[in-house]
Amino acid sequence: MWTWIYLPSRLPRAYNKWIASAAAVDARLITALQRCREGSLVYGKDTGQAPLLGSMCADYGWPAAWGDPAQSVPFPCEMVHMGCGPSCEYHALSRFVRSFRWAMTTYLPLTLLLAARGGRGGAAKALRRALLSASRSSAFLATFITLFYYGVCLARTRLGPRVLGRDAAACQRVDGGLCVAAGCVLCGWSILLENAARRKDIALFVAPRAMATLFPRRYPLDEQWRETLAFAASAAVVMAAFAENRASVRGVAGGVLGWVFRE
């Protein structure tokens, strides 16, 4: 989430688009956070940034002063809630409901399709298993999104002002990165809602993308040997693990290797 907000160019385009769809946040808020961090938007000073969130105030029917960092220190958390009212807790609950509904539209068709292909144990049992799996995964994703937003609210309006103070410099520190960091710390705990096997799958999906943010998206031609070396080493590890214990390599990779090395 940190990379998606502050360094989106380091994420794959499709992954960026998927996170944006799941987050369902006004892009102007993301831009405001980015400018707070880079120092072009400064609380208590007129740096020409008022039109950014001023247009958002006009769209949502809020006072124009809310969008002016020279007058509003900090921006009210109600702007982060985007029309859900001033309560951070109500916004969190609303986020959970909306995110759960959005996730179910993705997970339920997939689990039903897999259940139909499996065809084991009867239709009723397969349907029940599919509903449970989709509900659990949707609850995980909804909790992830909810905890992230509530972490932002905690840092901005609940804990941050008590610890750092309410002056312009403290608000700048919070909106310059601490609120996003708080959301990132909280949202990761949602993984506990998934079962142990699913946690491994999610970790294997997320870890390479997280590591990729530390390296260039593309290497110059004279340095592409690094990418080739990393791929060769990774493939060697996977194949060695498969040769040692076939059950240790699951998913698409396990299926492909099983087909290639079938006896």
pLDDT in tens, 78-95: 999 998 989 999 999 999
Number of domains in the chain: 2
Assess whether 164 and 249 both reside in one domain: no
Assess whether 201 and 238 both reside in one domain: no
Assess whether 129 and 49 both reside in one domain: yes
**Which of the four pLDDT bands, split at 50, 70 and 90, describes residue 119?**
low
Assess whether 82 and 202 both reside in one domain: yes
* Domain endpoint, select from 178, 195, 212: 212
Assess whether 171 and 203 both reside in one domain: yes
What is the Cα–Cα distance from 165 to 145, expressed in whole angstroms? 27
Assess whether 69 and 171 both reside in one domain: yes
Average pLDDT of span 44-69: 92
In the numeric block, which tokens belong to residue 189? 């705990």
In the numeric block, which tokens belong to residue 94? 């609303």
Assess whether 188 and 96 both reside in one domain: yes
Q: Which of 214, 210, 206, 209 is nearest to 140 (CA)?
A: 206
Assess whether 135 and 196 both reside in one domain: yes
Assess whether 171 and 42 both reside in one domain: yes
In this structure, of 44-58, 126-140, 245-259, the range with the lowest mean pLDDT score is 245-259
Report angle CA 53, 142, 94 to the nearest 5 degrees: 55
Q: Tell me the angle at which helices 251-260 and 225-244 cross, rounded to the nearest 10 degrees.
A: 70
Q: pLDDT for 183-239, tens place per residue?
A: 999 998 998 888 887 888 888 788 877 877 777 767 778 878 887 888 898 888 888
What count of residues does the chain have? 263
Quote the pTM value.
0.82
Assess whether 111 and 228 both reside in one domain: no
Strands (DSSP E) contained in 128-179 are none
- Structural domain for 62, as ranges: 2-212
Whether residue 208 is preceded by a cis peptide bond, meaning omega within 30 degrees of 0, is no
Q: How many CA within 13 A on the CB side of residue 244?
A: 8
In this structure, of 3-7, 120-124, 256-260, the range with the lowest mean pLDDT score is 120-124
Assess whether 251 and 208 both reside in one domain: no
Assess whether 40 and 85 both reside in one domain: yes
Q: pLDDT for 223-249, tens place per residue?
A: 788 878 888 988 888 888 888 888 877
